[in-house]
Amino acid sequence: MKNRRVALTLGGVFLMASAAIAADEAADPYTKDQLASLDAYLAASEEQEVATALSAAPEHISAAASVLVLRKDGYETIRDGSNGFVCLVERSWAGSVDYVGAFWDPKIRAPICYNRQAAKFVLPLYLLRTRLALAGRSRADIAAAIAASVSSGELKAPVGTAMSYMMSAGQYLHPDIGRWLPHLMIWMPYTGQDDWGANALAGVDPVVFRNPGGPFAMVVIPYGEDRFIEP
């Protein structure tokens, strides 16, 4: 149960809640608030990255999805899909800026497939984080830039049914746990913690998290381990 709870604080996609755990600065090798060597975040091959990204969702979805891969200057689309889904492998800076060491851990991999609405409203937050991270910005700078983008209306809460899959056996979400259960997320406007019971850990039951710095919340719905998809 301990491992499951730690993973939930990573927000299902490993990324969203900030209050439940903190990195141990004395033991964590990535406590320095900066990007490690860029090459450390890149996949061994783009073929491997594509396979891992596509394993985030069931094959009938991923087979027709667009695919992004991380290159030295950011994410690039290497395949245009036809069903509105977008699959990629997110890196450590998708997580809360409160994760002192894990925020820059180059080993973290979070394969995810966004549906059309999530790709429109939620993915832009991660791509903004990526641009700032690769530019060498600090966690505080990233948090401030996100807040400014929310305030300006550049980042908006989802309209319609926004969801994403994280079912890949290739996930590595945090150094304390490796991978967690396969799961999906439902994204929605955040109207207050009292409305959603946000950030309340509940074993492997569905749980709601607010996205720190973003204008939305998500419901994390875990599956059993037999639902993992191998890259």
The letter for the amino acid at 95 is G
Confidence (pLDDT) at 199: 55
pLDDT 10s digit of each residue in the chain, 231 long? 333 333 333 334 444 333 333 434 444 556 678 898 999 999 999 999 999 999 999 999 999 999 999 999 999 999 999 999 999 999 999 988 887 768 999 999 999 999 999 999 999 999 999 999 999 999 999 999 999 999 999 999 998 899 999 999 999 988 877 888 899 999 988 776 555 555 555 455 556 666 656 788 888 888 888 999 999
The letter for the amino acid at 69 is V
- What element of type H or E holds 186? strand 183-189
Confidence (pLDDT) at 24: 41
Question: What separation in angstroms does the CA of 192 have from each of 90, 198, 209, 211?
Answer: 27, 8, 11, 12
> Tokens for 49?
């990255």
3-state DSSP helix/strand/coil % of the chain, to nearest 5: 30, 20, 50
Quick one: angle between helices 123-134 and 139-152, nearest 10? 140
Its pTM stands at: 0.84
Beta bridge partners of 207: 220
CA 98 centroid distance within chain: 15
**HSE of 69 in the Cβ direction (CA atoms, 13 Å)?**
17
